[in-house]
Structure 1
Amino acid sequence: MNKTLQNDLLIRAALSQSTERPPVWMMRQAGRFMPEYWEIKNKYSFLEMCKTPEIAADVTMLPVDLLDIDAAILFSDILVTGEAMGGELSFEQGVGPRFSNPIRTQADVDRLETDCVDKLRYVADAIRVIQERLAGRIPLIGFAGAPFTILSYLVEGGSSKDFKRTKLLLNNEPALAHQLLQKIADVTINYLNMQIDAGVNAVQLFDSWALALSWNDYRDFSHYYNKYILANIKRTVPVISFCKGSSVFAPMMADANPDVISIDWNADLKNVKQILPAGVAVQGNLDPFVLYADKSVIEDKILQLFERMRGENGFIFNLGHGIMPDIPFDNVKHAINVVKRFRY
């Protein structure tokens, strides 16, 4: 796998091998902070962008061409699995994703399909187009949303500040919650295997709303299913596990046997690395808000992190979460240049 890539830094770091510098990519790197993204977005709806392989490839390639990062990540959305299962998904400007038929009852769970990977073939088609364009320059990361996070959107009908309906389901109807989570997990396994077969070089599981959960609820309603997914996908490429709350949940996340755990900015990255089992790499963990700061500050913060991680194999530089849409493009480019100049 490494031999076919001109730049395999990310793969080596993900497998806890030595690297001359940390590889860099950023969550939401193909996004709204780039004027070039808006040139495309103003012509198409978000779902059209996701579902048209050539357009998804165009957006995926923006940070590759404009930022010269060490890995591309497929342009898509975590909620496409929820839609394929039967959720009526739309994206509204200023509102975000909405499911107009939220899950409320046993009948709602029963109607969700699990044999639905064919509806996601457009993602495999996009992967093939992207890999043609990358031509082995850098790895391509595929991804999926983790079951608990997908459940929260399906149950709430969209984003939520307090996850009240989700937590009512977990507390009052845990058996129904587990039934829904199992369905999502089975779809996610097929979806990630489809991406691996289509040619991605790594995959990341996004559990964006795990931080809403207590330790026991995370164990029972999130970690259990993430572990099931990681045990049943084709482990021919490195697997990165991310959640908001990873600074708390990292020791449990390691039990699911990922290659890499992506850490939020609330923890000291070296401390986390050293409590994890040998051979588990870490990704992160710059606070994205640092990228609003003066360029000298951005450089100092990155170099502080690198000095802290000096001597540690298995380190991928990233943000603790995604880039915000109004971060100046020049600041992002500067951050990446700082990383690329660094040598251990």
Structure 2
Amino acid sequence: MKDTLQNDLLLRAAWSQQTERPPVWMMRQAGRFMKEYWEIKNKYSFLEMCKTPEIAADVTMLPVDLLGIDGAILFSDILVTAEAMGGDLSFEQGVGPRFANPVRTVADMERLSVDCIDRLQYVADAIKVIQQRLDKSIPLIGFAGAPFTILSYLVEGASSKDFKRTKLMLNNEPELAHAILQKVADVTVEYLNMQIAAGVNAIQLFDSWALALSWNDYHEFSHHYNKYIISKLNRQDIPVISFCKGSSVFAPVMAEAKPDVISVDWNADLLNIKQALPANIAVQGNLDPFVLYADKKVIREKILQLFERMRGVDGFIFNLGHGIMPDIPFDNVKYAIEVVKEFRY
């Protein structure tokens, strides 16, 4: 499919091929910083939006239509796999996701279902609707949450600042943690392969909370499972992007899982990371999202500074080091994308 897209910049960069400018998309690009998102969100719950293919497609298309980005990303949530496995998931305004039945014992772990892919059919249905709407204009990125990040939500029962319960499990009951992680990994493989079969053009694996882990624990409880997932994907012609908060530290380990792209947080010099990676691994990132609150002159300077640093480097996708915050001005996001699209190597 990549050969027939009108704009395949993102895929070419993901394959470490030459591009005339860096392609641009932004994590959380279809979200709460847009009034058009709230016009939809005020009518439905978050999970209704995810589970109704036409609505998921409407939200996915907002940044395509309003911002002109080079890649669309499926509107969904990393926690849908955990819900399909039996997590009682809800989203509270101003609080975030909650699981009413956290997973903290062997019995809780045993209740997690791995035969649950049918419960995620709505995602495959949404992908088909979105691809009809995109009409081969730009690539569609599918995604899933990485096992450690899913584990942390299941164990904590909600978002956490210190991951105390999770780390206690890793330290005191590592066998239990591994049993949960393996179940999540197996579901994630099936889920991502379902997305590939439904027609996505690329995949991103989000390990949002990997930065909570020590070097050794990252190897054992995160990297091991991410590598397992990536090794089992039907990835012919489908580039795989690996993202974690902490990639500035963990990038050399992430490379061992053989993704096509490593998405880098804003704590590292992107060129240094790129040069330390195998030549066939592209990089994505890594503007500090807080720059988008700044004056437009500053936004332009910071983006062009990054581009000058990366000049002459094949395999570079422009993105943020993490997702857009909800109160970033829409006009600033739009301006940033215009700056990227005007640039030429």
What TM-score bracket applies, with the shorter chain setting the length?
over 0.9
Aligned partner of 1:147: which letter? P
Measure the CA separation in 2 of the matches of 1:138 and 1:104.
42
Q: Distance in 2 between matches of 1:152 and 1:205?
A: 16
Tell whether the 8 Å contact from 2:211 to 2:244 is kept in structure 1 after alignment.
yes
1:214 matched to 2:217? The reply is: no
Deviation at 1:90, TM superposition (A): 0.1
Does structure 1 residue 54 correspond to structure 2 residue 54? yes
Runs of 4+ in 1 over 2 A off after TM superposition: none
Residue 332 of structure 2 corresponds to 331
The equivalent residue for 2:267 is: 266
Q: Could you tell me which amino acid in structure 2 is paired with residue 257 of structure 1?
A: K
Q: Which amino acid aligns with 1:302?
A: I
Amino acid at match of 1:48: E
The residue type paired with residue 107 of structure 2 is A
Separation in 2, partners of 1:107, 1:133: 44
The aligned amino acid for 2:68 is: D
Corresponding residue for 1:89? Answer: 89
Q: Is the 8 A contact 2:245 2:322 kept in 1?
A: yes
Q: What is the letter of the counterpart of residue 23 of structure 2?
A: P
Matches within 5 A, 1:240-319: 240-319=241-320
Residue 240 of structure 2 is aligned to residue 223 of structure 1: no
- CA-CA distance at 1:3 after TM superposition: 1.8
Deviation at 1:243? Answer: 0.2
Deviations 1:94-128 (A, max 9, x none): 11000000011000000100010100000000000
Q: Report Cα offsets for 1:131-150 as digits up to 9, x if no partner.
A: 00000000000000000000
| TM-aligned CA deviation for residue 197 of structure 1 | 0.1
Q: What does residue 155 of structure 1 align with?
A: 155
In 2, the alpha carbon distance for the partners of 1:23 and 1:249 equals 24
**Secondary structure, in 3 states, of the residue corresponding to 1:306?**
helix
Residue identity opposite 2:305 in structure 1: Q
Query: What per-residue deviation string (whole Å, max 9, x for no partner) do you get for residues 157-179 of structure 1?
Result: 01000000000000000011000
Match of 1:5 in 2: 5
Q: Is the 8 A contact 2:16 2:281 kept in 1?
A: yes
**Segment of structure 1 superposing worse, 246-255 or 2-11:** 2-11
Q: Which residue identity is paired with 2:242?
A: S
- 1:203 and 2:209 matched: no
Distance 2:176 2:100 in 1: 20
Distance in 1 between residues matched to 2:298 and 2:234, nearest whole Å: 41
The match for 2:181 is 181
Give SS of 1:24's match.
coil
Quote the Cα distance in structure 1 between the aligned partners of 2:125 and 2:81. 16
Q: Letter of the 2:131 partner, please give it.
A: Q
Q: How far off its partner does 1:2 sit?
A: 2.4
SS of the residue corresponding to residue 98 of structure 1 reads: strand
Tell me the secondary structure at the aligned position of residue 205 of structure 2: strand
Pair 1:239-2:230 in alignment = no
The whole-number CA distance in structure 1 between the counterparts of 2:205 and 2:92 is: 24
In 1, the alpha carbon distance for the partners of 2:132 and 2:18 equals: 28
Give the whole-Å Cα distance in 2 for the aligned partners of 1:162 and 1:134.
40
Check conservation: 2:2, 2:139, Cα contact below 8 A.
no
How many Å separate the matches in 2 of 1:279 and 1:333?
A: 31
Aligned residues, how many? 344
Contact 2:117 2:190 in 1 (8 A): yes
Report the AA paired with residue 51 of structure 1. K
Structure-2 residue corresponding to 1:321: 322
Could you tell me which amino acid in structure 1 is paired with residue 330 of structure 2? F
Task: Supply the RMSD in Å over aligned alpha carbons.
Answer: 0.4
Residue 4 (structure 1) shift: 1.4
Instruction: Indicate the SS of the match to 1:181.
Output: helix
CA offset at residue 61 of structure 1? 0.1
Give 1:213's aligned amino acid: L
* 1:242 counterpart letter in structure 2: F
CA distance in 1, matches of 2:60, 2:2: 21
Q: Residues of 1 paired with 2:163 and 2:6: CA distance?
A: 44
Work out the percentage of aligned pairs sharing the same amino acid: 82
What residue is the counterpart of 2:118 in the other structure? 118
Q: In the aligned structure 2, how far is the partner of 1:160 from the partner of 1:273?
A: 31
SS at match of 1:261: strand
Q: Deviations over 1:21-40 (max 9, x none)?
A: 00000000000000000000
Question: With structure 1 as the length reference, what TM-score do the two structures score?
Answer: 1.00
Q: 1:315 offset after TM fit, Å?
A: 0.1
1:332, 1:34 → 2: CA distance? 10
